[in-house]
Structures are given as C-alpha cells and as structure tokens.
C-alpha cells in the first residue's frame, strides 16, 4: 500500500470512527447517564459486580483470533483461516457460556452474598455466544479498513439497544434495563455483519490454519486477561470490602472519566492497528504515526477531563442529583489519571501491529503483578474509593515511565519526542483550566464556565495547529472524493 493511500485511509478511517464515536459511543454514554438519573447507585453496583466475573471469563472468548487475522498480511491468509477461526470461536463460546451460567454465576452470588447475581450473570453473558460469530466479519472489515460499514453496524445496534433499555427503565425494569443495554448490541449486530461482508462460513476446519492464528492469538489473549485484571481488580475489591452502593458510585465516576477515554482511544486504535501491521517493517513511519495518535487522542480527551476537574461538582449535582455526590472527588482524581495515561495511549496497538504480542504480554504482566495490584489493594483497604482513585494516578505515572523506556527501544521514541508532540494539548489545557477556574471562583454560572472552557481550548488549538488541521481536512476531502469515485 502506497504511503499516500495509507494516509487517505487513515483520515477516512478516523472520520468514520469519529462519526461512530459521536453517534454510537456518545449515545451509549448518554444512555448510561440517563439510566443513572433513573436508577440508584446500588443497582449500578450490582451490574458492576456481575461484570467483574463475566468479563474475566469472556476475555478468553475470542482467543485473540480476530487480532491475528487483522495483523497477518494478505498474502499469508487463505479462506481456511477464516472458516477455521469462525468454527473455533463458535464452539469455544458455547463452552465459555456454560461455564459462566453454571459455575461463575453461583460463585459470584456467593462471593458477594447477592442472590440476584445468579440470574443477572447468565443473561448478561448472552453476548458471549454472539461475539465469536461476529469476529471474522469484524476482522475482515477492519483489515479492509472499511470503517464506514463498521460505523453503521455499531451505530444501528447501539441506538436500538439503548432506546429499548430506556423504555424498560421507564417501565420500572430497574437493573434489568442496564443488563439489556449491555447485551443487545452484540445480538443485533450479528445479521448486520453478515449482510455487510457477504461472507458465509463453510464446514472447513484446518489444523495448520488454527495453529497459524492461535500462535499469535495466545499472546493477545494473555494480554487481554491481564488487561481485564487491571480493569476489574478495583471493582472486585470495592464490591467485596465495601458495598454495592460504593461500587455503584465508583463505577459512575469511571463512566464519566476512564470509560470515555477508553471509548475514544479504542476507536483510534481500531484505525491504526491494521496500519501498524501493514508498515511493521518501517520503524520511522511507525514512530511518526504513533506520535500523531498520542497528540490527537490528547487533544480530544484533555478538555473533557479539565471540565470534570474544575466543574465536576456542579455538573454532577445539577444533572444527576445529590445521590451521586460521593462520586465527585473520585471522578476528579480519575480524570487526572486519564490525562497522565494519554502520554502512552495506543502503545499496545503499536506493539501488536509490529508483531510483538509477547512483549506486550510481558509488559502487562509486570504492570498487573508489580504495580497495579499492590497499589489498588493498599488504596482501597486504607482509604476506600478515594484511595482506589489515587492508586490509579500513581499507577499511571509508573506506567508512563515503563512504557516510555520500551518505546525508545522499539521505535526510538524519546521522552523529548513525546513532550514535543504534547505541547499543544498541554498549553491549551493549562490556559483553559486557569481561565475556567478563575471564572468559577468569581461566581460565574457553571454553564458559562463550560462555554468559556470550550472557546478557550478550541481557540488555542486552532491558533497553534491551524496549518496542520487544514492539511488533515484536505486529506479527508481527497479520501472522500476517491471513495465516491
């Protein structure tokens, strides 16, 4: 693939993924916020408890097969790889679902002493059965960088599932409305994927094809297991040591901060992963692309986090009520941790795209065992959900140091390179923070402060990056013209 064509596909991919983020992720995000208005912290906490157990088992579901199909070059793939991946995923998912329904659900109910979990967890895990069915279609579209179709499927399934979940909440379904919202998107997407790719599985299973994709996938699965541990260890301990209500408050703080960050960076990684794979033999180009990803991820995420740090209290109290007041301080601390994390956002996608899943796994193991686990245990045990939030901040600082060391070795990205590409987000965030905080302390209405922050941040970014942003717009228009032609 020519470099110019690659840039066009990246810009086009970013456009469609941003559209998906705006329509899909934002809609899903808003649905959760509306449900937070209708429901109570303990109901959010119950779903959080269920998710801890189900997600840990679900992480084994795809065996990293989808990532392997995307990473491999076109000339290395045969039809047998796709058919073998499909049937392996289907058979495996049935076994995973049975384990969740008959082993994990009773265990979780006993662990938390919450009998309702034995019913919630099997229903929440229905997506386990549909996700492997979709994985080959999703991998094919990602490999082709056909993010337009992926955006349509994601948007359609999320909107339908969210609308029904809201209706259930208004009708008094309570916690089941949250469960439906989590499950329905996978099931609804299934026929849309088949329609988008026109790919139909055949009764083909080949041992060599399995070994080809599983050899790569075993490392990505191991990484996913450790990622899941990093994501859910705090939920597990808070639910066990504190209460469902405390977990609900902490979950809500995460929805407003780290979940938002994750949704956006996942979108960018989905665009860049096949690009990294296609140019895995060109370290200089990988370095250039990676630094751009860090810059643009930060440009989008930083203003939202500054907003939550300065205006989190009036936003929470006015939009969601005093029942969520305890989430304000953890939310502000977690927002700071998100800003620190952006310094190394997307590094996993880069390592995996380079064909280094083993290094990625080693890094995740070290971070989970020697950094995150001890910090989060001490934080929760000593200071509850506030301690957990500060543990996240300390962990993110240590993670940046560790990852930066390996980025220097792998693609020659120095800390100076990183700071140079973070200059605009840093300057815009600092100025908008000072201005907004001064207005708020002076007694300005919080809505006026939100407007001031948005204008200040956007204005500074435009002034400092006008030429670059204009160039990106031209490339997007060029890519759109080629697509139409």
In this structure, the chain runs to a length of: 485
Domain-located, residue 478: no
Say if CB 233 and CB 381 are below 8 A apart: no
Whole-angstrom distance, CA of residue 70 vs CA of residue 349: 12
Say if CB 131 and CB 93 are below 8 A apart: yes
pTM of the model: 0.70
Q: Count Cβ atoms within 10 A of the Cβ of residue 372 and give its class: 0-12 exposed, 13-18 middle, 19 or more buried.
A: buried
Whole-angstrom distance, CA of residue 150 vs CA of residue 303: 27
Question: Digits of tens for pLDDT over the chain (485 positions)?
Answer: 445 555 555 555 556 666 666 666 566 666 666 767 766 777 778 877 887 777 766 666 555 666 667 766 666 778 888 888 888 888 888 888 888 889 889 998 998 888 888 988 888 787 777 777 777 888 888 777 777 787 778 778 878 887 887 888 788 777 787 777 777 777 788 888 888 888 888 888 888 887 776 666 566 666 666 777 777 788 888 988 888 888 889 988 988 887 667 767 777 777 777 778 777 888 888 898 899 889 999 998 999 999 999 999 999 999 888 888 999 999 999 999 999 999 988 888 888 778 787 888 889 889 888 999 999 999 999 999 999 999 999 999 999 999 999 999 888 999 999 999 999 999 999 999 999 999 999 999 999 999 999 999 999 999 999 888 887 777 666 655 555 44
Which residues touch 260 (CB under 8 Å, ≥6 apart)? 29, 301, 304, 338
Residue recorded with tokens 């399934």: 157
State how many domains the chain has.
1
Q: Which pLDDT value is given to residue 5? A: 55
What is the span of the domain harbouring residue 379? Answer: 3-421
Residue recorded with tokens 């890519």: 479
Domain-located, residue 480: no
- Count CA within 13 A, CB hemisphere, residue 249: 22
Which residues touch 119 (CB under 8 Å, ≥6 apart)? 105
Domain-located, residue 464: no
Q: Which pLDDT value is given to residue 378? A: 95
Domain-located, residue 55: yes
Whole-angstrom distance, CA of residue 343 vs CA of residue 422: 8
Domain-located, residue 474: no
The 3 state secondary structure assigned to the chain is CCHHHHHHHHHHHHHHHHHHHHHHHHHHHHHHHHHHHHCCHHHHHHHHHHHHHHHHHHCCCCCCHHHHHHHCCHHHCCHHHHHHHHHHHHHHHHHHHHHHHHHHHHHHHHHHCCCCHHHHHHHHCCHHHHHHHHHHHHHHHHHCCCHHHHHHHHHHHHHHHHHHHHHHHHCCCCHHHHHHHHHHHHHHHHHHHHHHHCCCCCCCCCHHHHHHHHHHHHHHHHHHHHHHHHHHHHHHHHHHHCCHHHHHHHHHHHHHCHHHHHHHHHHHHHHHHHHHHHCCCCHHHHHHHHHHHHHHHHHHHHHHHHHHHHHHHHHHHHHCCHHHHHHHHHHHHHHHHHHHHHHHCCHHHHHHHCCCHHHHHHHHHHHHHHHHHHHHHHHHHHHHHHHHHHHHHHHHHHHHHHHHHHHHHHHCCCHHHHHHHCHHHHHHHHHHHHHHHHHHHCCCCHHHHHHHHHHHHHHHHHHHHHHHHHHHHHHHHHHHHHHHC
- Torsion-angle region of residue 384: left (phi > 0), alpha (psi -120 to 50) or beta? left
Whole-angstrom distance, CA of residue 258 vs CA of residue 339: 10
Crossing angle, helix 175-197 and helix 41-58, to 10 degrees?
40
- Count CA within 13 A, CB hemisphere, residue 457: 24
Crossing angle, helix 26-38 and helix 258-278, to 10 degrees?
160
Whole-angstrom distance, CA of residue 261 vs CA of residue 345: 10
Domain-located, residue 171: yes
Domain-located, residue 482: no
Reference 131, options 182, 90, 161; nearest CA is 90
Domain-located, residue 400: yes
Reference 395, options 265, 234, 247; nearest CA is 234
User: CB neighbours (10 Å) of residue 96?
Assistant: 22
Q: Which pLDDT value is given to residue 7? A: 57
Q: Which pLDDT value is given to residue 1? A: 47
Question: How big is the chain by its Cα radius of gyration, in Å?
Answer: 22
Hey, what long-range contacts does 139-144 have (CB within 8 A, 24 or more apart)? 139/65, 139/66, 139/69, 139/70, 139/85, 140/69, 140/82, 140/197, 140/199, 141/193, 141/196, 141/197, 142/70, 142/270, 142/273, 142/274, 143/69, 143/70, 143/74, 143/274
The pair of three-digit structure tokens given for residue 285, joined into one six-digit string: 């180009």
């Amino acid at each position: 693939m020519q470099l110019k064509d690659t840039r066009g596909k990246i810009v086009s991919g970013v456009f469609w993924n941003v559209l998906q983020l705006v329509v899909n992720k934002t809609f899903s995000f808003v649905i959760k916020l509306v449900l937070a208005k209708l429901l109570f912290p303990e109901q959010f906490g119950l779903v959080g408890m269920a998710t801890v157990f189900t997600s840990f088992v679900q992480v084994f579901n795809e065996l990293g097969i989808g990532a392997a199909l995307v990473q491999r070059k076109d000339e290395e793939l045969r039809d047998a790889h796709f058919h073998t991946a499909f049937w392996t995923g289907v058979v495996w998912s049935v076994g995973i679902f049975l384990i969740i329904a008959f082993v994990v659900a009773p265990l979780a109910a006993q662990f938390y002493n919450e009998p309702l979990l034995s019913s919630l967890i099997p229903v929440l895990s229905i997506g386990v059965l549909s996700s492997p069915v979709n994985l080959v279609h999703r991998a094919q579209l990602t490999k082709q960088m056909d993010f337009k179709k992926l955006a349509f499927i994601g948007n359609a399934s999320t909107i339908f599932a969210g609308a029904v979940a809201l209706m259930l909440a208004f009708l008094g379904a309570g916690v089941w409305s949250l469960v439906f919202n989590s499950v329905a998107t996978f099931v609804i997407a299934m026929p849309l994927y088949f329609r988008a790719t026109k790919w139909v599985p055949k009764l083909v299973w080949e041992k060599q094809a399995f070994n080809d994709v599983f050899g790569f996938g075993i490392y990505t699965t191991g990484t996913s297991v450790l990622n899941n541990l990093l994501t859910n260890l705090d939920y597990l301990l808070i639910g066990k040591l504190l209460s469902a209500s405390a977990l609900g408050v902490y979950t809500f703080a995460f929805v407003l901060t780290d979940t938002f960050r994750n949704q956006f960076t996942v979108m960018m990684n989905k665009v860049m992963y096949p690009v990294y794979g296609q140019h895995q033999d060109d370290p200089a180009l990988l370095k250039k692309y990676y630094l751009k990803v860090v810059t643009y991820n930060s440009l989008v995420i930083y203003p939202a986090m500054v907003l939550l740090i300065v205006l989190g209290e009036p936003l929470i109290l006015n939009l969601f009520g005093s029942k969520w007041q305890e989430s304000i301080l953890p939310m502000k601390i977690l927002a700071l941790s998100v800003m620190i994390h952006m310094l190394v956002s997307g590094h996993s996608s880069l390592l995996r795209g380079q064909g280094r899943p083993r290094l990625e796994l080693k890094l995740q193991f070290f971070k989970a065992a020697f950094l995150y686990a001890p910090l989060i245990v001490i934080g929760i045990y000593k200071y509850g959900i506030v301690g957990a939030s500060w543990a996240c901040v300390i962990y993110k600082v240590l993670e940046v140091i560790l990852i930066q060391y390996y980025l220097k070795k792998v693609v020659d990205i120095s800390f100076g390179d990183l700071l140079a590409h973070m200059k605009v987000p840093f300057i815009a965030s600092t100025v908008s923070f000072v201005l907004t905080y001064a207005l708020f302390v002076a007694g300005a209405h919080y809505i006026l402060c939100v407007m001031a922050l948005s204008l200040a941040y956007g204005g500074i970014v435009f002034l400092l990056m006008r030429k670059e942003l204009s160039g990106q717009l031209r490339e997007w228009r060029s890519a759109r013209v080629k697509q139409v032609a």
